[in-house]
Amino acid sequence: MSDMQRPLVSLLMPICNVEKYLEQCLASACAQTLRDLEIICINDGSTDGSLAIIQSFAARDERIRIIDKPNSGYGDSMNRGLETARGRYVAILESDDFLDPEALEYMVERCERERLDLLKCNFYLYWSNPGAEQLNRHNLYFSAVSPEMELMGVHRAVDVPEIFWAKASIWSVMYRRAFLEENNVRFLPTPGASFQDTSFSFKAFACAERVAYSCRAFLHYRQDNEKSSVNNPGKVFCVCDEHDEISRFLNEDRADLKPELDAIRAKMKFYNYRWNLYRLAPELRGEFLERFSREMREEVEAGNVSVVEGDAARYAFNQGEFDEIHLIAYDPDFYSVKFACENTSKLGTMMQYAKSGGPSYVARVIKDKVSGR
Q: Please state the length of the chain.
A: 373
State residue 176's pLDDT score: 98
Do the domain assignments include residue 3? Answer: no
Task: Find the domain containing 372 and state its range.
Answer: 344-373
Q: Name the band, by pLDDT with cuts 50, 70 and 90, for residue 361.
A: very low
The residue among 178, 167, 228, 171 whose CA lies nearest residue 202 is 167
Query: Is 60 exceeded by the pLDDT of residue 74?
Result: yes
Query: Is 90 exceeded by the pLDDT of residue 316?
Result: no
Q: Name the band, by pLDDT with cuts 50, 70 and 90, for residue 348.
A: very low
Q: What residue type is assigned to position 167 of the chain?
A: K
The residue among 22, 196, 218 whose CA lies nearest residue 101 is 218
Q: Which of 171, 189, 222 is the last residue of a domain?
A: 222
Do the domain assignments include residue 230? Answer: no
State residue 373's pLDDT score: 57
Please report which residue ranges of 219-358 form alpha helices under DSSP H: 238-248, 258-279, 282-301, 319-330, 332-340, 346-357
Query: Is 50 exceeded by the pLDDT of residue 29?
Result: yes
My answer on whether 45 and 188 are in the same domain is yes
Rama region for 248: left / alpha / beta (φ>0; ψ in -120 to 50; rest): alpha
Query: Is 80 exceeded by the pLDDT of residue 364?
Result: no
State residue 343's pLDDT score: 53
State residue 365's pLDDT score: 42
- Cα(213)–Cα(235) distance, integer angstroms: 32
Please state, for a pLDDT cut of 70, what percent of the chain lies above it.
83
pLDDT tens digits along 148-169: 999 999 999 998 888 998 889 9
- Cα(37)–Cα(177) distance, integer angstroms: 13
Q: Looking at residue 85, which CATH number applies to its domain?
A: 3.90.550.10
State residue 237's pLDDT score: 92
State residue 357's pLDDT score: 41
Query: Is 80 exceeded by the pLDDT of residue 31?
Result: yes
Do the domain assignments include residue 189? Answer: yes
Helices (H) and strands (E) in the chain, counts: 15, 9
- Cα(372)–Cα(118) distance, integer angstroms: 42
Q: Which of 170, 197, 222 is the last residue of a domain?
A: 222
My answer on whether 169 and 54 are in the same domain is yes
State residue 325's pLDDT score: 96
Q: Which of 178, 193, 222 is the last residue of a domain?
A: 222
My answer on whether 23 and 39 are in the same domain is yes
Do the domain assignments include residue 100? Answer: yes
3 state DSSP class of 310 = helix
Please report which residue ranges of 93-196 form alpha helices under DSSP H: 103-114, 147-151, 162-165, 177-182
How does 141-155 read in b/e, with b if 16+ C-beta sit within 10 Å? ebebbeeebbeeeee
Do the domain assignments include residue 324? Answer: yes
